[in-house]
Amino acid sequence: MPIDFIAATYIGSFEDSGLLLEVYDEVNRYFMREELPIRMLFVGKLSIPPGYLINLQTEAGTVKLYPLEAILDALHSKLLHEIESKGSIKMDKIFALVSFPLVSRNPYFDFYEQFFGIQEERVGLRMMVLSVKPFENGAERREMFKNRLLKGVLHEIGHSYGLSHCQNNCVMNPPANMDEWDSRFLGYCDSCFLEIKRKLSLLEFELP
C-alpha cells in the first residue's frame, strides 16, 4: 500500500529543536514497526511574520505569541506549497509543534481560550497543531519530555484518521494530569490500532 505522508514542521523558538526532529523520527519508527503506511516528512521550520504577534496577559506577565488563526493560515499555505513542489508525493496533512500556548480569539476582543492541540480541515486538507508547553511542566528528564510529545503527536495523528478518544491504556485516552499521561502506553491500543488500519484501508491513494 502506498505511503500517506504528513508534512511536519515547527513554529517558535526552541532551545533544543533537535528533540523535535527526534520526536518525528520516533513517530516514523513506530509506524514502521507496526506496518502502518504513514510517514512524517520534515519540511523545515515555519516562520510567521511578526506582525501577527499578539500580547497575552498571564500571571507571569505579558507573553507574545501567535493566535491560532494565524498559525492555521500559515500551515495551510505551507501545505499547499509542499503539495505543489512535491507533486509525486501524496500529502494532504501538515503537523506543527509550537513553542508557546495555543490561544484563539473569540468574538469578544481580548478574550482567549487555551488549547493543547487542535485540528482544522479546509477543502480536504488537514492542519494539526500541538503546543509543547503543557508537556514541559514537571518533565525531569529530556527523555520524559520527548515521550510526552511523542504520545501527543500520535494522539493528534490518530484523530486525523478518524480515531475518537478511548478508555484503554492508549495515546487516544486523554489524561486528567501529566502523571496519567506518563503512565500511558506509548502507542495505540488494540482497538484503536485496528480502527486506524481499517480507516487507512479505505483511503484511496494516488500512486506516484
Could you list the active site residues? 156
Q: Percent helix, strand, coil in the chain (nearest 5)?
A: 40, 25, 35
| Largest Cα span, the chain | 52
CB neighbours of residue 70 within 10 Å: 17
Residue 195's H or E segment, with its range, is helix 190-202
Residues 160, 126: Cα–Cα separation, whole Å: 8
Cα dihedral sign, 74-24-82-94? negative
